[in-house]
Structure 1
Amino acid sequence: MSAAPRLDADRVRARVEAVPDPELPMITLADLGVIRSVGEGVDGVMEVVFTPTYLGCPALPVIETDLRAVLAECGHPEGRVTRALAPAWTTDRISEEGRRKLAAHGIVPPAPAAAPLPVRLGLGRPCPNCGSVATRPVGPFGPTGCQTILMCAACRESFAHLKAV
């Protein structure tokens, strides 16, 4: 068995950025905004630096394993995966494409922090099914720790909402 051809940093970055998030597979790690950098370190070893969405995320071991696998597939079996904790990840790092993908799968993405806040008069996030803002939280957690479940009073459907961080 021959070794994988050694790809340059740009090609490794493209492969790393295409890795799907284990908990939200419709969105890539690049769309989620967790990839900080991909390149050779001062010692010449290819390194992927990422910022976890939160420290208690149960997907961290899977993300690290997936990133190491990509490095090996790109000819860098000695490559490193490093967590960068500062600055902390925020939902503002989710790309517009990532927000679109989340919404297309029925998960309401949080508004960017810099977005003007609408006066909601106690109403919730817009329902992805019917658009009504007559929504309310059902519980603090959803299918993953970073989501909550909301219920729409208009169409009576429940839906996931990605919590703002």
Structure 2
Amino acid sequence: MVSAVASDEVSAHAVAATVTDPELPMLTLADLGVLREVSEQDGRVVVAITPTYSGCPAMDTMRDDLVHALSGAGYAEVEVRTVLRPAWSSDWITDDGRRKLAEAGISPPGAAPRHTGPVPLTLGPPARSVRCPRCGTGDTELLSEFGSTACKALHRCRSCHEPFDHVKEI
């Protein structure tokens, strides 16, 4: 903890970058790419975050955790803003974040699909090449398009037979 006046040694950005995602606690908001901007002026901190999905139920917890961490570090006035443009992309997850996901048994996303026009309507689940985070094989199957959270799908490895979450590419 820092004294009642924010220390020059601990920037607001450094404090905000330590806050973890409530649904993926192995990742910080910075790892996830949700932490967009942190600005400081005269003891006031403004943090901008972007949800992974519109209506993400974790946004209130992220906001509360950011305010708590920054207040605890001595920043008296903290405002957290939600920024929707540009929309979050799974491409914003850092390489370190992808490594942490795999180490936790969650398959990290591949490259997000790129569309240069209308998004085609398909009736089945999207085709993904998903690798098992435990044994590394690509011989996996989709069990459910929605896993433990809306941003993850549930898969099973056909080789080691273990189920696992996969962070969806968006």
**TM more than 0.5:** yes
Point out where structure 2 has 5 or more consecutive residues left out of the alignment.
114-126
**Residue 50 of structure 2 corresponds to which residue in structure 1?**
51
**Letter in structure 2 aligned against 1:109:** P
TM-superposition CA deviations, 1:30-89 (whole Å, max 9, x none) = 100111111136x87311111111122111110000111122123222221111110111
Give me the identity figure in percent: 45
Tell me, yes or no, if structure 1 residue 19 matches structure 2 residue 19: yes
Tell me, yes or no, if structure 1 residue 87 matches structure 2 residue 92: no
Asked if the contact 2:32–2:97 (Cα under 8 Å) also holds between the matched residues in 1, the reply is yes
Asked if the contact 2:67–2:79 (Cα under 8 Å) also holds between the matched residues in 1, the reply is yes
**Residue 119 of structure 1 corresponds to which residue in structure 2?**
none
**Letter in structure 1 aligned against 2:136:** G
SS of structure 2 residue aligned to 1:107: coil
CA distance in 1, matches of 2:92, 2:128: 26
**Letter in structure 2 aligned against 1:148:** A
- Off by >6 Å, runs of 4+ in structure 1: none
**Residue 6 of structure 2 corresponds to which residue in structure 1?**
6
**Letter in structure 1 aligned against 2:23:** E
**Letter in structure 2 aligned against 1:11:** S
TM-score, normalised to structure 2, is: 0.83
Point out where structure 1 has 5 or more consecutive residues left out of the alignment.
115-121
CA distance in 2, matches of 1:6, 1:123: 46
- Count of paired positions: 156
List aligned pairs for 1:96-115, cutoff 5 A.
Answer: 96-113=95-112
Asked if the contact 2:43–2:77 (Cα under 8 Å) also holds between the matched residues in 1, the reply is no
CA distance in 1, matches of 2:9, 2:77: 14
TM-score, normalised to structure 1, is: 0.85
CA distance in 2, matches of 1:123, 1:57: 23
Asked if the contact 1:123–1:133 (Cα under 8 Å) also holds between the matched residues in 2, the reply is no
Measured after TM superposition, the shift of residue 112 of structure 1 is 2.8
CA distance in 2, matches of 1:66, 1:110: 25
